[in-house]
Structure 1
Amino acid sequence: MPQMAPLNWVTLLAYFIIIFFMFNILNYFIFLYSPMKPLIKVNKNKVYWKW
C-alpha cells in the first residue's frame, strides 16, 4: 500500500532520532574526566629568622 509509505518514513525517522539522542546522552554521561592536578607548586620551605 503506497499510501502507508510516509507513515513508515516518519516512524523510522523518529526511531533513529531517539537512538541518536540516547547515544549522545549516554556518551556524555559515561565519559569521566580525570581531575586536574594543580599546576602551581607551593614552596613550603619557610625560613625562620632569629634576631
Structure 2
Amino acid sequence: MPQMAPLNWMSLYLFFILLYIMMMIMNYYIFLYFPSPMKIIKMNKNYSWKW
C-alpha cells in the first residue's frame, strides 16, 4: 500500500535519529578526559629594551 510509505520513512528517520543520539551520548560518557596533573613552570623572561 503506497499510502503507508510515509509512515515507514518517518519511523526509519526516528529510529536512526535516536540511534545517532544514543551513540553521541555513549561516546560522551565513555571517553571522559581526565588531564593528568602537571607541574606548571612559569618562567619570567626579563627583556631589556634598548631605546
TM-score (norm 2): 0.68
1:2-17 correspondence to structure 2 within 5 Å: 2-17=2-17
1:1-51 deviation digits (Å, cap 9, x = unpaired): 00000010000000000000000000001103232322325xxxxxxxxxx
Unaligned runs of 5+ in 2: 42-51
> Partner amino acid for 1:12?
L
Percent identity at matched positions? 54
Q: Measure, in 1, the Cα distance between the counterparts of 2:35 and 2:23.
A: 25
What's the secondary structure of 2:33's corresponding residue?
coil
Q: For residue 10 of structure 2, what is the amino acid of its counterpart? A: V
- Gaps of at least 5 residues in structure 1 are 42-51
Number of aligned positions between the proteins: 41
Tell which structure's C-alpha radius of gyration is larger. 1
The alignment's TM-score, normalised by the length of structure 1, stands at 0.68
